[in-house]
Amino acid sequence: MQLELQNIKKSYGEGGSRIEVLKDISLGIEKGEFVVLLGPSGSGKSTLLNIIGGIDTADSGKIIIREKSMADMDEKALTSYRREHLGYIFQMYNLIPNLTVRENIEVGAYLSKKPLDIDEIIEVLGLKEHQNKIPSQLSGGQQQRCSIGRAIVKNPDILLCDEPTGALDYNTSKEILALIERVNKEYGNTVIMVTHNDAIKNMADFVVKLRDGVIRKSYRNETKQTAEELDW
Amino acid sequence: MKRNKQRKNLTGKMKKPLNKRLIRELTGDIGKYIVIFILLVFSIGFVSGFLVAGESMIKAYNESFEKYNIEDGNFRTEEKITAAQKERIEKKGVSIFENFYIEKEFDNNTKLRIFANREQIDKVCVMEGRLPDDLYEIAIDRMYADNNGLSVGDKLVSGSESYEIVGLVALSDYSALFYSNNDMMFDASAFGVSVVSDKQFAEYDEAKLRYNYAWLYDDKPQTDEEEKKASDDLMDVLANIVSLENFVPGYLNQSITFTGEDIVGDKAMMEVLLYIIIIIVAFVFGVTINNTIHKEATVIGTLRASGYTINELIRHYMSMPLIVTVIAAIIGNILGYTCFKNVCVAMYYGSYSLPTYVTIWSAEAFWKTTAIPVVIMIFITYFVLRKKLSLSPLKLIKRDLSGKKPRAAIALNKKIRFFDRFRIRILIQNKSSYIILFMGLLFANLLLFFGMMLPPLLVHFQGIVTENMLAKHTYMLQIPAGAIDDEDELSAAFSYVFLLNKISTNNPTAEKFSAYGLKTTGEGGSRVEDVSLYGIKENSKYIHADFDDKTVLVSSAYADKYGLKEGDVITLKEPYEDKYYGFNVTGVYDYDGGIAVFMSKKHLNDIMGLSEDMFSGYFSDTEITDIEDKYIGTVVDEESLTRVSRQLMISMGNLMYMVDGFSVVMFIVLIYLLSKLIIERNVQSISMAKILGYTGKEVAALYIVPTALVVVASLLISYPILSYVMVGIFRVMLKQMMSGWMVIWLDPSVYVKMFLMGIITYAVVAVIEYRKIGKIPMSEALKNVE
């Protein structure tokens, strides 16, 4: 098991306004799996992703990654964990506005001891002719490609995707999903994707449905659809 | 109508939520507002204090002419004027008043000019204690007392005489304590003025009395030209009636005019300083506003789309800078009228013997320190806001703030290290902040440089003038005007022969020279000043140069001040006549102690129509003791040459510390504000970098190093600019402010000190910024704001 969550609980606020966002979540993810965390707004899926990413902490429970408990990691170890093992893709891209496409990808490459070839990634992402542009010169889809490039260039073990198509139109969303699918297949990274788009569950190996902080259903797809085949 | 009213009410309510943001904006960014506020309060307060003090002082000074009946001029005669002579002179439209004095050396190595109390002219202002009315009582100049640690009740001893100080006074004709009107600068520590009772004055040896007379015109000339003409006419008349030793019309009397000119000059300088500071602060506000607009573009776009007008939003975003400026101006003015005024008054009292003053309400100071800063602030912030907020609501919502098509990124060579390229991008992104930082640091450094370079410059000047003195003692003999009256050569020659045995010395080191005083012509509006022409005997022990009949050497100080070189022609004129002399400069003589011209004695005497044997003084390495004091006009020695630098040190010392302190504060404020701004602008990116796994040190290396580089580069670039500007400012200032010249020398160690101060200041700010970067939460990047 590459990643194991045991009895994760998380709440915000105090007293009467206390909200339990995650209520006793447990699940295990295998290496190379494409996982979709599915749920409506407020279901706790993004919080769960942030806890896995080490940018938020659980109130209780255990996260074991590659047989190491995250609870034993201090700030330095957590930084090093994110640096060495994780890649992040956000809904709003979060590119550094004053760096070019290429330089934004280099931001990721710098963190890895063995980064993938930047030119190859730019080629794969279809960004070759845009590599010297800054984010504000790009469309949303191009920006998201760049953000994928930044995440995968360091060849992370786990790729965390928080609503990566949330701000994109139908066709661009499918392109981006196809790209993530390709990355998962070609580079063998584990992908954990948060989405509220029900159709996307069909391309996952493992689907976890959340509502009100509880796993309502989790299952492994016996047959998967390709991103190309998805429709919504 | 009713509907309009309702709409108005609704709009009124609509505005309130925006106004509520002001308090949150203030509390949310309290650090920024506090430092800007402090900078503004201190700048406005100090300038307001300076202007109020200046206005009050200049009023007291101007009123003193009437209040204390200040003379229109004075002259000194060899003998006491007879009643008949007085009558003849007064027929020329003036009233003459006796204002005799003696000069006495005291045991504290100072010299006092002692007058009998004046009841008609140049009246005395008692600052503390009372006027003397008995023997061995004295009232001394207040500033001389301050500089020598004397107060009422103390004793002043001169040989066997001991005087009790009964009062501290200001003599209305000595607001600046010039010993001689020809001096480059006054010296209020080694020289002072004082009054004693008539009874005491009558006790003094008549031989030591200086017959000084003050005059008042019956019809005061209205313009400078009229005054010059009246005084020239009077001098001609006097020269025919009495034997003149000295003649100083009021408008040329530095003891009277220097103070007024200096206060007016200071005021102008302070106002310019304030406006530069306000402009810098306004630009800092401009950059912060720009930053806020970037941050809030979508909100602004939405508000515009909902019906808020551009002006409503401009007013909203202008409010905080204006509120801060107005409150700072009010508090600054209150502090200006209370504590800063006292500091500035103390500065004036530290330099000048001014009479008592009354603080006056200065509308000018209020406008200049309140209205003008507010107008500058409105103008600059309005300009920035108007430019940004004029974009269409859609562009604002889309965060497309450039106003034109997004510009392509500047291509950077891929061979440059990634971190370095990253930093270059930050430099490019924040270029406007960095330009303001550079300008601000340049200005702060200019102030700091001014404060730090002056003391070593003065010390250096003291060193070189004492090192290359013409002789340890240069005595200028006091030769009665009749002796050199070129209209009556025969009588001049007789008087001269009569004098000769009185002005001869047996001192073996003494060497005769002839001298003649001329003035510069004041071409191009420069100050008219005295030039000493020295006629040097052959094979002089003191002036090491070969003189032939055509050699004319100008002193290095003269050459430096007026940019003279070999081959130039200098034109000089008789002080009080329309007679001009042209000299062809054949070289420069290394002498920094004064504006002087050297030629052979024969050459000078020929030109001036004096007999070959005639001489005017002695160079001597030992003191000459066998010539009576009354035949010695001035002595140029170490003490007199270093008078300028010593007085400047005293009168500018406090100001220098204040300037230093202020510039350091400004330095810190600017670096703090602008580096804070750069971090704030990149909060999202910093947060994202942390999520990606960048360590705090790496993030700091990316975001702090560019500012550090800009600070270091700004400091290094600023030094040659500062040196150039400072030398320029100093040259202009010295040329306008004083006769004579001071070699401008910039101490290299000042640059090192300034650089270290700059770097240490930045290091402190960098630590604060490092902590701030550490505190930026990763959740910042998770907010759905790009």
The pLDDT tens digits of the residues spanning B283-297 come to: 777 877 887 888 888
CA distance B420 to chain A (A): 11
Residue ranges of alpha helices (H) inside A112-169 are 118-124, 140-152
pLDDT in tens, B311-365: 888 988 888 889 999 999 999 999 988 888 888 888 888 888 888 888 888 888 8
Percent of all residues in chain B with a pLDDT value above 70, rounded to a whole number? 91
Residue B216 binned pLDDT confidence (cut-offs 50, 70, 90): very high
Asked if residue B12 has pLDDT above 60, the reply is no
- Mean per-residue pLDDT for B589-616? 88
Q: Is the predicted pLDDT of residue B208 greater than 90, yes or no?
A: no
- Closest by Cβ to A55, choosing from B421, B428, B691: B691
Pairwise CB contact (< 8 Å): B418 & A103: yes
Q: What is the pLDDT of residue B131?
A: 95
In B236-254, which positions are buried (b, 16+ CB within 10 angstroms) versus exposed (e)? ebbbebbbbbbbbbbebbb
**Which residue positions in chain A have pLDDT lower than 70?**
none
Q: For residue B14, name the pLDDT band (cuts at 50, 70, 90).
A: very low
DSSP A72-88: G--HHHHHHHHHHHEEE
> What does the pLDDT look like over B113-129, one tens digit per residue?
999 988 889 999 999 99
Mean pLDDT of chain B: 84
pLDDT of residue B415: 87
In a 13 Å sphere around the CA of B657, the CA atoms on its Cβ side amount to 7
Residue spans of alpha helices (H) in B336-371: 341-351, 363-366
Contact list in A for residue B778 (CB cut-off 8 A) is 55
Q: Which residues of B touch A150 (CB under 8 A)?
A: 692
Confidence bin at B786 (pLDDT 50/70/90): very low
Burial class (CB in 10 A: 0-12, 13-18, 19+), B448: buried
- Smallest CA-to-CA distance from B171 within B272, B77, B255, B63 is with B255
pLDDT of residue B737: 65
Structure confidence at residue B162 (pLDDT): 94
Say if CB B96 and CB B81 are below 8 A apart: yes
Confidence of residue B577 (pLDDT cuts 50, 70, 90): low
Of B402 and B247, which is predicted with more confidence? B247
Check: CB of residue A44 under 8 Å from CB of residue A21.
yes
Q: What is the pLDDT of residue A177?
A: 92
- Judged on CB neighbours under 10 Å (0-12, 13-18, 19+), B210 is middle
* Nearest CA-CA partner of B171 in B358, B357, B352, B359: B352
Q: What is residue B444's predicted lDDT score, i.e. its pLDDT?
A: 83
Subunit contact A55:B779, Cβ cutoff 8 A? yes
Comparing CB atoms, the residue among A50, A92, A133 nearest residue B409 is: A133
Cβ within 8 Å, pair A110-B779: no
pLDDT at B517 over 90: no
Query: Which residues in chain B touch residue A80, judged by CB atoms under 8 angstroms apart?
Result: 693
- The pLDDT-based confidence of B140 (bands split at 50, 70, 90) is very high
Q: Is B688 exposed, middle or buried (0-12, 13-18, 19+ CB in 10 A)?
A: buried
* Nearest CA among A173, A222, A179, A175 for reference residue A202: A222
For residue B488, pLDDT beyond 70: no
Instruction: Name the range with the highest mean pLDDT among A2-11, B410-419, B652-661.
Output: A2-11
pLDDT the model gives residue B481: 45
pLDDT score of B492: 62
For B372-384, how does the pLDDT look when each residue is reduced to its tens digit (9 = 90+)?
Answer: 888 988 988 898 8
Please compute, for residue B744, the number of CA atoms within 13 A of its CA located in the half-sphere on the CB side. Answer: 17
B404 confidence band (pLDDT: 50, 70, 90): low
Chain A: nearest CA to B693, how far in angstroms?
Answer: 4
Give the pLDDT score at B779: 80
Do the Cβ atoms of A98 and B692 come within 8 Å? no
Residue B483 has phi, psi (to 5 degrees) of -70, -25
CB of B250 within 8 A of CB of B70?
A: yes
Chains A and B: how many Cβ contacts under 8 Å? 88
Please give the DSSP secondary-structure letter assigned to residue B217: E
For B692, which of A107, A132, A136 is closest by C-beta distance?
A107
Average pLDDT over residues B684-689: 88
pLDDT of residue B241: 85
Residue carrying structure tokens 């040196």: B723
| Residue B107 pLDDT class (50, 70, 90 cuts) | very high
Which pLDDT belongs to residue B752?
A: 93
Residue in chain B closest to A96 (alpha carbons) equals B685
A88 touches chain B (CB under 8 A): yes
Rounded to an integer, the average pLDDT of B49-69 is: 89
Residue B73 DSSP symbol: E
Tell me the mean pLDDT in the region B754-771: 89
Query: Distance (Å) from the C-alpha of residue A93 to the closest C-alpha of chain B?
Result: 8
Q: How far apart are the CA of A224 and the nearest CA of chain B, in angstroms?
A: 30
pLDDT grade for B576, boundaries at 50, 70 and 90? low
Interface of A with B in 106-125 (CB under 8 A): 106-111
pLDDT of residue B482: 47
Q: What is the mean pLDDT of residues B393-408?
A: 71
CB-nearest partner of B692 from A92, A100, A108? A108
Q: Return the pLDDT at A220.
A: 94
Closest approach of chain A CAs to the CA of B683, in angstroms?
10
**The predicted structure's pLDDT at residue B323:** 92
Mean predicted confidence (pLDDT) in B698-708 = 90
